[in-house]
Amino acid sequence: MLSIEQTIEMLNTSKAGTLLSHLYGQEQLSYQLDRYSALVKSFQAHFEDGKLALFSSPGRSEIVGNHTDHNHGKVLAGSINLDTIAAAVQVDEPIITFISEGYPGKFIVDITQSEPNPNEPATLSLVRGIVAGFSEFGYSVGGFNAYISTNVLSASGLSSSASFEMLICSILNTFYNQGTLDSIAMAKIGQYAENKYWNKPSGLLDQMACAHGGLISIDFANPYKPVITPVRFDFQQNGYSLVIVNTGGNHADLTDDYGAVPKEMRSVAKALGAEVCRDLTPNDIYGNLNSLRNQCGDRAVLRALHFFAENKRVDAQTESLTNGNMEQFLKLIADSGNSSWKWLQNCYRNADIRHQEITVALAITESFLKDIGTGACRVHGGGFAGVILTIIPNEAAQSYTRFIKDTLGTSTYIINVREHGSICLNDII
């Protein structure tokens, strides 16, 4: 840990430049150096000097595996070069104080008060839940001051909340646990905070992808010991860009819609004497189709069938990337998108058919891709509102972003998968 002046000097070293280039791409180096310098100066303007550390926690992109993790399924996901960053100093008092850029005032959490408080803002509840999770799982906690900034689009499906959670975990891990927590341990604490303190029925996908880093396949057959397999593939070097499209909808208040997905899948499993869909096979559904439709409802059955098909696609897509078969990979992306739209049914809310931002974005994107003869798109993340993912040739990415601007009038983000998950930059520079 360094003083503020030493931290500014550190950012101007070649090691810092190398790390920031790896995190964000060489073309962003100058911007990111300015961004971190501004972060440190903002910390200095609001807090006393101390032994400062810099942290970065990425957002995530779900490539395939839409709504499978909560039924012990498989996913293919990657950390991305949009992230939440912080300048932080350890303090002796049992108080976490932080400023989140763009939000008024300071957020203050007394870590001796661990009980959930339904009347406090969600941000404070998440931090309180993370502190409680550290204690629950046997790790140490303590106070710190931090200035936080993010460019992970909020309420969009890029997991801005998980990015923030893993940032807080990284700070506590570095300051009070000598960096001993691995990505799985931090992900479980983030999930604990969301489930217990934010009333979000989340699985582990978002937290795992943000914490671990790189492009990874994750098998949640045993959710207590998920199996992580790195997938070595660079989309841009292989001629394709990952483009996130903001469709104009906001998924901030869709907890009931998200919660219904795992609930309905599990109802099908329960009707057949199992806990989750991973304990079943498609033949279990086919052999009991009519009784399941009567007992659980047609949508629940369709969502269970989506789970099985999506699980197989994760393996097939991982294999296609490993073998460099981009044509097969794109076909599977399109298949995943169609399954989410038709079977999982998370592209719009049945209660609000007038607003279908995702399906409109998918429809015009499919037409665009048909005209250029390649590429694929699908709903991204939890769905119902938010963003879509388009995989498109590098040379067509800019014309596609202009097309979206001219039609939907919304923003796009060309993203890269980054190697590092949630980190303390001081440990690497």
Region 385-393: mean pLDDT is 94
Model confidence band, residue 2 (pLDDT cutoffs 50, 70, 90): confident
Q: How far apart are CA 193 and CA 278, in angstroms?
A: 25
Sign of the CA dihedral running 224, 428, 20, 419: negative
**Residue 184 clears pLDDT 70, i.e. is over it:** yes
Q: What are the tokens at 172?
A: 């506590």
What is the DSSP track for 38-84? HHHHHHHHHS---SEEEEEEEEEEEEE-TT-GGGT-EEEEEEEEEEE
Tell me which of 130-144, 149-163, 302-316 is least confident.
Answer: 149-163
pLDDT value of residue 251: 53
Region 252-256: mean pLDDT is 74
Distance of CA 31 to the CA centre of its chain: 23
Region 148-162: mean pLDDT is 83
Interstrand relation of 423-424 and 387-393 (parallel, antiparallel or unpaired): unpaired
Region 201-230: mean pLDDT is 91
pLDDT value of residue 382: 85
Q: What are the tokens at 290?
A: 């009519």
pLDDT digits 0-9 by tens, 259-309 = 899 999 999 999 999 999 999 999 999 999 999 999 999 999 999 999 999
Q: What are the tokens at 406?
A: 């001219």
pLDDT digits 0-9 by tens, 332-380 = 999 999 999 999 999 998 888 899 999 999 999 999 999 999 999 999 9
* Domains of the chain with bracketed CATH: 4-57+82-211+420-427 (3.30.230.10)
Distances, alpha carbon 263 to alpha carbons 67, 81, 120, in Å = 11, 33, 27
pLDDT value of residue 252: 54
Bridge partners (DSSP) of residue 240 are 393
Sign of the CA dihedral running 351, 355, 357, 360: positive
Distances, alpha carbon 318 to alpha carbons 51, 112, 417, in Å = 43, 45, 15
Contacts of residue 380, Cβ cutoff 8 Å, sequence gap at least 6: 61, 62, 157, 158, 244, 386, 387, 388, 389
Q: How far apart are CA 261 and CA 144, in angstroms?
A: 38
**Residue 187 clears pLDDT 90, i.e. is over it:** yes
Distances, alpha carbon 156 to alpha carbons 73, 79, 160, 245, 310, in Å = 23, 15, 8, 9, 22
Sole residue written with tokens 């037409």: 367
User: What is the largest distance, in Å, between two alpha-carbon atoms of the chain?
Assistant: 70
pLDDT value of residue 351: 85
Model confidence band, residue 156 (pLDDT cutoffs 50, 70, 90): low
Q: Which of 43-52, 194-203, 366-375 has the highest mean pLDDT?
A: 366-375
3-class secondary structure, 211 = helix
Please name which of 392, 28, 24, 21 lies closest in space to residue 242, comparing C-alpha atoms. 392
**Residue 10 clears pLDDT 70, i.e. is over it:** yes
Q: Which of 192-206, 253-267, 296-310, 408-422 has the highest mean pLDDT?
A: 296-310
**Residue 327 clears pLDDT 60, i.e. is over it:** yes
3-class secondary structure, 86 = strand
Q: How far apart are CA 422 and CA 211, in angstroms?
A: 5
Sole residue written with tokens 């067509």: 396
Model confidence band, residue 155 (pLDDT cutoffs 50, 70, 90): low
pLDDT value of residue 133: 97
Region 404-420: mean pLDDT is 94
pLDDT more than 70, % of the chain: 98
Q: How far apart are CA 205 and CA 62, in angstroms?
A: 8
